Amino acid sequence: MVYPEVRVPVASEEVQDPHNFFVRFFSELGAVGGVLAVAWMILLWWQMSRPGEKTEVRSQKTEGGRKGLWSLVAIAVGAAF
**Local mean pLDDT, 10-residue blocks, the chain (81 residues):** 69 67 87 91 88 61 66 84 73
Q: What is the pLDDT of residue 36?
A: 92
Asked if residue 55 is part of any domain, the answer here is no
Looking at the chain, the number of H-run helices and the number of E-run strands are: 3, 0
Whole-angstrom Cα distance, residue 57 to residue 67?
19
Q: By the 8 A CB rule, do 47 and 67 touch?
A: yes
What's the pTM? Answer: 0.45
Q: How many domains does the chain have?
A: 1
Asked if residue 7 is part of any domain, the answer here is yes
Asked if residue 35 is part of any domain, the answer here is yes
Asked if residue 46 is part of any domain, the answer here is yes
Q: What is the pLDDT of residue 17?
A: 61
Dihedral of CA atoms 62, 64, 65, 66 in degrees, nearest 10, equals: 90
Q: Range of 20's domain?
A: 3-50+61-80
Q: What is the pLDDT of residue 39?
A: 93
Asked if residue 56 is part of any domain, the answer here is no
Asked if residue 74 is part of any domain, the answer here is yes
